[in-house]
Amino acid sequence: MTEQTIGASAPRADSPAGALRTPSGAGAWQRASKQAIDAARGGVWPWLFQRITAVILIWGLGSHLIATHIYALGELSYGNIGHRLAAAYFVAVDISLLAAALYHALNGVRMVVLDYWFKSAASRRSLAIGLWVLGGAFFVYGMWALWPWITK
């Protein structure tokens, strides 16, 4: 390897941290913004919240299943559910399950759609707004179903 090749492949002092460089033309380097790449793939915050909601879902479903199928032996009825939801803990578990499941599912749909369609920034933004509206509507519907136990 020549000195010129080694120098060209080494990181440059004037490149910002995390910047990606791609060769262009006769040895000149273009920098691609890491933010632009992350945004095109869905973003780092939705990725992080996808992982956080996965942990919440595992914890919440485990708590829900243990309370429903292990501690509540016997008939699964409206009265038994009402007795369980009289505790603020289980109302909080159900609300967190509702919110986490909605975000996790709709963000998963968003990521799949972004992988195959919606390449422009405006279409990605309209998809995100549409999914937030849909998620808000489902959350309101889920809260409406839990409302009789929340107001007790």
CATH class for the region spanning 40-150: mainly alpha
Looking at residue 123, its amino acid is S
pLDDT for 52-66, tens place per residue?
A: 999 999 999 998 888
Looking at residue 117, its amino acid is W
Please classify residue 127 by burial: count the beta carbons closer than 10 Å to its beta carbon, then call 0-12 exposed, 13-18 middle and 19+ buried.
middle
Domain boundaries in the chain? 3-32, 40-150
pLDDT at position 7: 43
Which is nearest to 102 in space by CA: 41, 44, 143? Answer: 143
Exposure string for 14-28, b = 16+ CB within 10 A, e = fewer: eeeeeeeeeeeeeee
What secondary structure letter does DSSP report for 69? I
pTM for this structure? Answer: 0.68
- Would you say 29 and 12 are in contact if contact means Cβ atoms under 8 Å apart? yes
Beta bridge mates, 29? 23
pLDDT for 94-131, tens place per residue?
A: 999 999 999 999 999 998 888 888 778 888 889 999 99
Q: Which tops the pLDDT comparison, 24 or 70?
A: 70
CA-based radius of gyration for the chain: 24
pLDDT for 21-57, tens place per residue?
A: 555 544 444 444 555 555 566 678 888 999 999 999 9
